[in-house]
Structure 1
Amino acid sequence: MTAFLGLVLAAFICFALVFFIKQRQYNHPALRMPYQLRKPLFEPSERELLGLLEQGLGERYRILAKVRLADVVDVTAIPRRAPWYQAHNRISASRFDFLLCDLMTLDAVCAIEMEPASQANAFLDELCQTIGLPLVRLDPESARTYDAARAAVDEAVAAQSSKPPVQPAG
């Protein structure tokens, strides 16, 4: 009986010691707050395109960068939680490279992406079409002047405004 009690006491002491050591490790500042400021905020190509957009469109639109889709897009009513969370997670992890907003209301007018359309990013194209938000795909190579950027945005906004609004299924 004494040996069993000694064994239990030794196991308890070992457990407490391991717990204490792990607790100190988890409270280490590097583990508790494992973050640092990202530098640079914009890649050189993103900075170049932002400057181009500001030159060509800054007097008409407020230009926001790196905007999460979930900050702009709402998930419509889905009766079950699992599909709602799946739909929300799909947009919360993605972002628009640039979002042009109305100067007064800050309503989203047009989204701009820096990558060409592909199968990998087809979701974003379909999403923008569904919600009625024009999506323009630009990169510094294809839009070297602010006139070209302005023309691409004007064309997309004009094309979208001539379409009837998409009605959600349901």
Structure 2
Amino acid sequence: MTNIFIVVILLVVFFFIIQKYVIKQDDTRDYAYCSKGSLLKGQEGAFYNALRAAVGEHAVVFAKVNMATLIAPKESQNKKQFFIASNRIARSYFDYVVCDPRTLAPRVVIELDNGQQLHKGKIERQKLLMHVCKSANLPLIGASVKHSYQVGRLRRLLAAHIDLIEPEKEVRFCKKCGSPMMIKTASHGEFKGRRFFTCSRQPNCTYTENYNVVFDDEE
């Protein structure tokens, strides 16, 4: 019994010393830091500038936005799952977020494909992005670095979510019957407020086309 008591006393003294002289010193130690330079480098910066040119005064572009700044897991009785879900988004970020210029509410999230080969980390990130954006009802657009030099295509990609392009400036023809197409805006449902092309011969022709479709033969 005496031996057990002595061991307990020694353990208490040991943890006291660790707490006072090791952990405390580590918490109060002053570290030196250095700047890493530009927030966006190379292709990231070029794409950001192209995005700003594409949206003009119609939106504000933010880069490398922590996911937890914009979204949060829904309340759950399972505290463990809630903590895990919170931790996942806290460690990741959105490449670019295009926001309303007045309210700064997010309009669309953009993920930049840098052209590198897929690896496990990249695949897991893409899965997380698609899941959180779909769950939070945030539009997600994948863009290539080549769009850094094609502002017109960026405008087309964003036009379904932000009022950037005047409808009368673009003419399309139905790929089913060849008739001129009209631009309409969804008035209800999941895509309420988004624009799309529909054949002018409806209801005889029911062909529709997403407004943000980008054709490879366009400049």
TM-score by length of structure 2 reads: 0.56
CA-to-aligned-CA distance 1:34-65 (integer Å, 9 cap, x gap): 53322121121111001100111132101111
For the pair 1:149 / 2:154, whether they are aligned, the reply is yes
Match of 1:35 in 2: 33
Q: Which runs of 5+ in 2 are unaligned?
A: 1-12, 164-184, 192-219
Letter matched to residue 76 of structure 2? I
Distance 1:130 1:28, change over 3 A: closer
Distance 1:144 1:81, change over 3 A: same
Shift of 1:67: 0.6
| Residue of 70, 73, 84 corresponding to 2:71 | 73
Quick check: which one's helix share is greater?
A: 1
Cα distance in structure 2, aligned partners of 1:136 and 1:80: 32
For the pair 1:101 / 2:102, whether they are aligned, the reply is no
Cα distance in structure 2, aligned partners of 1:110 and 1:138: 12
Cα distance in structure 1, aligned partners of 2:140 and 2:49: 19
| Residue of 119, 124, 127 corresponding to 1:122 | 127
Cα distance in structure 2, aligned partners of 1:89 and 1:157: 31
Distance 1:25 1:138, change over 3 A: same
CA RMSD of aligned residues (A): 3.0
Letter matched to residue 123 of structure 1? L
Cα distance in structure 2, aligned partners of 1:79 and 1:36: 43
Shift of 1:141: 1.7
Q: Is the 1:101–1:108 Cα contact (8 Å) retained in structure 2? A: yes
Q: Is the 2:76–2:82 Cα contact (8 Å) retained in structure 1? A: yes
Shift of 1:130: 1.7
Aligned-partner SS, 2:129? helix
- Between the two proteins, what is the percent identity of the paired residues? 21
Letter matched to residue 156 of structure 2? A
CA-to-aligned-CA distance 1:113-166 (integer Å, 9 cap, x gap): 1127973312211221121111111132245211111111224669xx847349
Shift of 1:29: 3.0
Distance 1:156 1:62, change over 3 A: closer
For the pair 1:84 / 2:82, whether they are aligned, the reply is yes
| Residue of 121, 139, 164 corresponding to 2:189 | 164
Distance 1:83 1:41, change over 3 A: same
